[in-house]
Amino acid sequence: MEKAQAYIRIQELKDIINEANRRYYVENSPVLSDYEFDMLLKELEALEKEHPELRTDDSPTQKVGSDLKTSPAKVSGKEFEQFPHRYPMLSLGNSYDITEVQAFADRASKGIGNAFTYSCELKFDGTAICLTYRNGKLVRALTRGDGTIGDDVTANVRNISNIPQELKTPAGFFPTLLQPKPWPEEFEIRGEIYMPWPAFDRLNEQRIKDEEAPFANPRNAASGSLKLIDSRMVAERGLECTLYHILGEDLPFQTHDQALKAAQSWGLPVSDKRKICKTIEEIEDFINHWDSERKTLLFATDGIVIKINELPYQEELGYTAKFPRWAVAYKFKAEQALTRLLSIDYQVGRTGAVTPVANLEPVQLSGTVVKRASLHNADQMQQLDIHIGDYVYVEKGGEIIPKITAVELSKRGTDVVLPHFPETCPDCGTKLIRDDREAKSFCPNQISCPTQIKGRLVHFLSRKAMNVIAGDATVDQLYNKALVWNVADFYELTKEHLLTLEGWKERSAERFLKSLDESRKVPFERVLYALGIRYVGETTAKSLAKHFGSIDSLAKASIEELLATDDIGQVIAESVYDFLREDSNIDTIERLKAAGLKFEADAAQQKLSGKLDGKTIVISGNFSVSRDEIKSLIIAHGGKSSGSISSKTTYLLAGEKPGPEKIRKAESLGVERIDEQKFREMIEI
């Protein structure tokens, strides 16, 4: 590939991979399968190898994915503190073919020059954790973060039942002057926190009852649970941990296997599903065994990790910028199941999108029984050449509903029927329109399509929007009685209206009306999200609310002004612009204003100036006001408040008793340090 073409493709790949990393590690909502992600990364590696002058230090090939947000995870004024890792917390190179494992073994053999063995272990599909024990007691737990700095989740980890707070003395140990305790005075042990299938299923059942989106997979559920602000809730999530790597000074072990056996004797959770192998044939047998047997496990596993067992050889082989040279991961292909397609439903969403969903003969897949699978759109149905009655392969990717990946043509009978994507809305009969940017078909009848109306009503009441105590059944009752068609109708309901509904009593009516009244206190950003503007999720609504400050300012904004907002692209800008110029939406907003809903940001949320535009500020220490007020001021004047110092940090705003680690990091990176007085001078209007 020519250099100019390579440069363009490298930039494209970086953008795709960085966004996929953010969605996977930070938002816990993956957009690519592991295999798709790894193939893109391999393509980027190959291009950078061909054109080394185009490789940069910030390339995804040179760093691990990060679970750190731009600012620390924050809810209700609380946040996770961040600390540096004593030893870098790297990732693993992935392979999908035994020949790649053989290549790893050949490189290791060439580098070592002596006989050695391999430790083969299950790769748990969870979220990485680093535990520090001092004098036999757990003192800190950090997430991987960006590999250099991690979030301190110690309080949450203390609520995971199989992680000991204090180590136990193994039977038969006799203390001596040289070894008073069976464990080192201080050490780190790393592993994976995961959510077993039964706990995952229970959690999703509850989330569906609470009208929350279910987690896509156990890995996302584990990661999201580990970052809960209320550590008491972590104990209810059923998380478990498996540990697999010990680090420390002068550890008394010669092999990785010895270290894990010692950790197990101290009461630490170490997997018993591992094996010491001497040859590539033994490794392949271990891989094949667990590729089949993983279907019987009560937790998700996505591969096998192969490590050089001898610790001196690990040290000799060392590390790349991103991976240890002494370990590699063999990734299983996504688990598939073959089953028969019985029929296809065409579902209309609240935004009018029509999605085909396949009804299947029930089949076991990744610990659950699958009866339905997504077909996404008409294009995919055509590409698959799918027929009703076909036998199809189903996978669980990064999606809540499993997806159909292929048709087994050898099993196609003569009685199959070619499905036809509807030309009209299956609910209201309106002719569908096609959005080529998404390859989706939409029903444009937002005013009177029953499914869209009810979908918008349910969305408006949902917990993350107006948080009104109601669900699908309540909306159905109100809609069928013609009491509510528009979200503004909710605020005109009376107790007399509600008592006409089947099953409603005085108390339930009063609870519902009280909940509606409480929703008038919901902040502007959530009211904006509740309106149900296509493509405007929670994060986008926050960005728009912060940038414009009120619905009136937002309604006056041009496409260009909308595009100037953080995280807003062309598609979202056009959607917001069109929504706020539709007469029926303008009327709804006016009625909601009259009902007392908040359509202006609180003073602390409004942008006061652009004096800090483009500046990232880390705060540390105590100030004349709360840290939250300082952060609000930074944001109000256009800046970004971050929890960790990096090369992108503009200032360290240091109050009284600032953290010494942050001061050292700022000095090492040449980040300017300012005090509160200097900060206030900078933002004076």
Q: Which H helix or E strand runs over 80?
A: none
Residues 595, 553, 604, CA angle at the centre, nearest 5°? Answer: 80
CA distances from 248 to 132, 133, 146, 505 (A): 10, 10, 21, 65
What is the C-alpha separation between 141 and 220, in angstroms, rounded? 19
Q: In what order do the strands lie in the sheet with 274-277?
A: 94-95, 327-331, 301-308, 118-124, 274-277
* Residue-wise burial string across 235-250, b where 16 or more C-beta atoms lie within 10 A, e elsewhere: eebbbbbbbbbbbbee
| Cβ 189 vs Cβ 94: under 8 Å | no
CA distances from 630 to 79, 257, 332 (A): 14, 50, 48
What is the C-alpha separation between 643 and 83, in angstroms, rounded? 10
Alpha helices in 520-671 (DSSP H): 524-530, 538-548, 551-556, 559-563, 570-579, 583-594, 627-636, 660-669
| Cβ 83 vs Cβ 150: under 8 Å | yes
What is the C-alpha separation between 635 and 427, in angstroms, rounded? 45
What is the C-alpha separation between 14 and 527, in angstroms, rounded? 35
Q: Which long-range contacts (CB under 8 A, 24 or more apart) does 368-371 make?
A: 368/197, 368/201, 370/337, 370/339, 370/394, 370/396, 370/402
Identify whether 123 is a catalytic site residue: yes
What is the C-alpha separation between 620 and 659, in angstroms, rounded? 6
**To which residue do tokens 């009593």 refer?**
505
| Cβ 618 vs Cβ 643: under 8 Å | yes
What is the C-alpha separation between 338 and 412, in angstroms, rounded? 13
What is the C-alpha separation between 160 and 226, in angstroms, rounded? 10
Distance of CA 158 to the CA centre of its chain: 22
- Of 42, 78, 110, 123, which is the active-site residue? 123
| Cβ 478 vs Cβ 453: under 8 Å | no
Q: What type of residue sits at position 657? A: K
Residues 59, 65, 627, CA angle at the centre, nearest 5°? Answer: 110
CB atoms within 10 A of CB 40: 18
Closest CA to 377 of 438, 329, 444: 438
Burial of 97 (0-12, 13-18, 19+ CB in 10 A): exposed
Residues in the chain: 685
SS3 category, 82 = strand
Distance of CA 242 to the CA centre of its chain: 21
CB atoms within 10 A of CB 19: 12
What is the C-alpha separation between 544 and 635, in angstroms, rounded? 13
CA distances from 669 to 89, 619, 654 (A): 21, 16, 16
SS3 category, 501 = coil
SS3 category, 38 = helix
Which positions are annotated as active-site residues?
Answer: 123
